[in-house]
Amino acid sequence: MTILSTSAGTVAHGSQGSGNPVVLPPSGDHEHHDYDEIRDLLPGRFRSIGVDWPGHGHSPAGTSPSTELRLTQIVEELLDPNARGHRPGVGNSAGGNVAARLAIRRPDLLKGLVIIDGGGFEGSRLLGRVFCALMNRRWFTRRIYSLFSWAYTRPRAAIDRAAKTARDVIPGSGLVVTESGHLPHTTSPAAVAAELTSLANTAFDAVRRTNDTQHSSPAAKEQE
């Protein structure tokens, strides 16, 4: 893991593999190791980038509340110095919210999203803001969060299989359902890795075609 100083405090991050980058923001009370199994299943031509939120994994407590916008800023600062083209983003729960927000804020950084039971598709509430403010404190994640996290890690009811709103309002998107609860990337890693590989191939092919077109344009040739 590598340490990075951000506007929200110090965070640990690391990469695995080489080649085209894929970004993996985790859920709250989770860390980059959540994605270990799908990272091992990704083709070697992809480089997966993981991060530990403030107060999680190898990262110390943050210097400010871990709001969704603040977490998004962390990933933006992590990627921006090495911004060379688009990359797919994969986020679970709070990480899905972050990936979606980053795609809106910085479309130059992300090309394609895999949102795994992502949050953020409803209005902001006071309880949610308080929860985010406490999420970067280790005492909260260890003593409080774990008391109810077990409830969402297993398949429950029809509501877990009815996430159609986002698909319906985002052109070109699709919906994949697995019987695995809130963390399919840990319980069904092969299925998630297959979907991610397909999306990443499409995203990077699109970027390559765009770059080829730009380099072959008359304006590009004049500059050369």
pTM here is: 0.73
pLDDT at 4 over 80: yes
The rounded distance, in Å, linking the Cα atoms of 224 and 19 is 26
Contacts of 25 (CB under 8 A, 6+ apart): 51, 71, 75, 89, 90, 91, 92, 94, 95, 96, 98, 99
Helix (H, G, I), strand (E, B) or coil at 57: coil
7-21, 33-47, 99-113, 153-167: least confidently modelled range:
153-167
Q: Taking 70 as the threshold, does the pLDDT of residue 7 lie above it?
A: yes
Which domains does the chain carry? 2-223 (3.40.50.1820)
Residue closest to 111 by CA, chosen among 95, 89, 126: 89
Amino acid at 70: R
Nearest-angstrom CA–CA distance, 211 and 168: 30
The pLDDT score that the predictor gives to residue 208 is 64
DSSP string of 92-114, one letter each residue: ETHHHHHHHHHHHH-TTTEEEEE
